[in-house]
Amino acid sequence: MFRSLITLATALLMTLPTLAAGLQHVEPPHWWTGMRDTSLQLMLHGPGIADATPQLAPYPGVTLKGSHRADSPNYLFVDLDIGPNAAPGDLTLTLADTTLRYPLRPRAPGSAERQGFGSKDAIYLVVPDRFAQGAALGNAGMKEGVHRADPNGRHGGDLAGLRQHLGYIAGLGFTQVWPTPLVENNSAQYSYHGYAATDFYRIDPRFGSNADFGSLVTEARAHGLGVIQDVVLNHIGAGHWWMADLPARDWLNHGPEGHYQETHHARMTLQDPYAAPSDRQRFTDGWFVPGMPDLNQRRPELATYLTQMTLWWIETYSLSGLRTDTYSYSDRDFLTRWSARVMQEYPRLNIVGEEWSPYPAVVSYWQRGKHNHDGYVSYAPSMMDFPMNGALLGGLTEADGAYTGLQRLYEGLAHDFVYPDAGNLVLFDGNHDTPRLFPLLKHDVGLTKLALAYLATTRRIPQLFYGTELLMDSPTERDDGRVRADMPGGWPGDPVNAFTGEGLSEQQRDMLDWTRRLFSWRKTATAIHDGALMQYAPMDGVYVFFRYDSERTVMVALNKNDKPVELVLSRFGERLTGQRSATDVMSGRRLALGERVTLPARSPLILELKR
């Protein structure tokens, strides 16, 4: 059913309305019948269009509710109701001497019931510009061209390159791929990362076309991979086409020029009962940098625009989920309505928000089902687990103490009581904004394996940053250009090639094979997907926990010591009673479970037991 959904979506990629004379933008470019919320607001942009009075040619099931302008004379907002009995076809809107034929499409079978990513999945994060080049598109008429020697420039990775290596990602055992934003970022510099949109409805032509993105999703699905889209609701790029002619004076926070105020990133002001209102406003309304204007989602038309834009990408390209950038920086009330609308249309989809805080109480505030002290309600099912990421790094690098070292992992999970659904959080080794895992773990392969073993087996959705499986390096302080280094083998002539294995060191080969075995096993490990968790307080540099369901038990023992440890098994009788043997997941060997088991130095031991 889902494959036919994708095929239909791909066939509709080019069904954008033909712009009538005088119209420069019609957004959303098309819509659907059968949506659960029947409202649709079109943003029309063209010289003097605000003075037009639209007329809708009779169309069964569709009603023209009205229209209005904002401050600019060049925008008109047209409100339609696409009733449940409306059939697919082309609406005809007449505006003075302009006639617009607007496409209404059928929803693909099963679209509303699509299953989003969840605990059965493992996510692979890529920065497309830095992953692989397949088409050598150059600057494609955009302001910034390719300068691969510049760590902060565009390097030329594209959708064709990503498509060529989907088999590599799936072969590692991953089931979801999350590319950083792909929409147009037509800036003179730093355009490669994608977080400063200049057109919300267009794939950046240096990556490829909208049709290429549809082909990527289709081919990913054939490899058993879902695609998660990175959505930015908080801000745009200074080169966005709105900036030459803002629809309304309050479209941006602090105005387009002369009133710039940078956010101070004081995210706790939103939960702080003692926070000054001016501090709260500066956090949400302040800009990141002058090149990223901050959007005012309190403006109703903008809130509707961002919501419909999100739904358009999900429905058009059959996405399996959303990652939402800088989540808490957007207006809180808007986020409630936005997340509710997305989940109304796709009740089984998943949305993971970015809230970069080390405190579980702050992160849990934004998760669906949380009963907050101030009554705030969110409908986002998941959040990025920054607290546990910090606990993982500290747990493996600090000396063990009452509140340090492995105790951080134990107490981190013990705080799961603050989350309405801790198992739906996304735990990551690192991302495009953090130093890479291997250098943070002091270039210690053993500690890196411990980290990935924990990532793959604890009660979370795991996410790996591309290249971790190759022990890719970076500075230990923030350095975005070098953290987002090129994937070896992604460009013709690369002397080292991750995809073929050519030029890899013995250490890299071992890590790559080890990662592949771990995540390939996880794909069928039902006790890891949905099982319960029982953990034992760390002792003597060893941390042990169990994942279990009615059929299987998985024992995970993390030995941080630089020498082997004889682990006495009687301590774990609640979970091991009656068990005489187990399978070592990583080696495939059967082990007898006597009084003790040997834990190799600086290594995880993952044992699978069947009832």
Known catalytic residues are 325, 354
Nearest C-alpha neighbor of 441 from the set 394, 484, 389: 394
Q: At 7, list the tokens.
A: 């095929």
Distance (Å, rounded) from C-alpha 140 to C-alpha 185? Answer: 12
Q: Which amino acid is at 147?
A: H
DSSP 374-417: T-------EEB-HHHHHHHHHHHHSPP-SSSTHHHHHHHHHGGG
Range 177-206 burial, b when 16+ CB lie within 10 A, else e: bbbbbbbbbbbeebbbbbbbbbbbbebbbb
Question: Which residue carries 């309600």 as its tokens?
Answer: 377
- Cα distances (Å, whole numbers) of residue 552 to 65, 324, 548, 549, 582: 57, 35, 6, 6, 11
Q: At 42, list the tokens.
A: 């079109």
What DSSP state is assigned to residue 48? T
Distance (Å, rounded) from C-alpha 77 to C-alpha 212? Answer: 30
- Cα distances (Å, whole numbers) of residue 336 to 244, 307, 328, 343, 600: 30, 11, 11, 11, 48
User: Is the CB of residue 8 less than 8 Å from the CB of residue 268?
Assistant: no
Q: At 133, list the tokens.
A: 């080049």
Q: Which amino acid is at 489?
A: G
What DSSP state is assigned to residue 485? P
- Rg (alpha carbons) of the chain, rounded to whole number: 25
- Burial class, 141, CB count within 10 angstroms (exposed 0-12 / middle 13-18 / buried 19+): exposed
Distance (Å, rounded) from C-alpha 541 to C-alpha 406? Answer: 7
Q: Which positions ≥6 away from 347 have C-beta within 8 Å?
A: 112, 113
Q: Which residues pair with 464 in a beta bridge?
A: 124
Quick check: bond before 256 cis, omega within 30? no
Angle between helices 445-457 and 386-397 (to 10 degrees): 140
Question: Which residue carries 């409100």 as its tokens?
Answer: 79
Collapse the DSSP code of 576 into the 3-class scheme (helix H, G, I; strand E, B; otherwise coil) and give the result. helix
Range 287-320 burial, b when 16+ CB lie within 10 A, else e: bbeebbbbbbbebebbbbbbbbbbbbbbbbbbbb
- Alpha carbon 189 to its chain centroid, in Å, reads 24
Locate all alpha helices (DSSP H) within 136-294, ordered by sequence: 159-164, 166-171, 210-222, 277-285
Quick one: which H or E segment has residue 300? helix 300-317
Nearest C-alpha neighbor of 185 from the set 256, 243, 239: 239
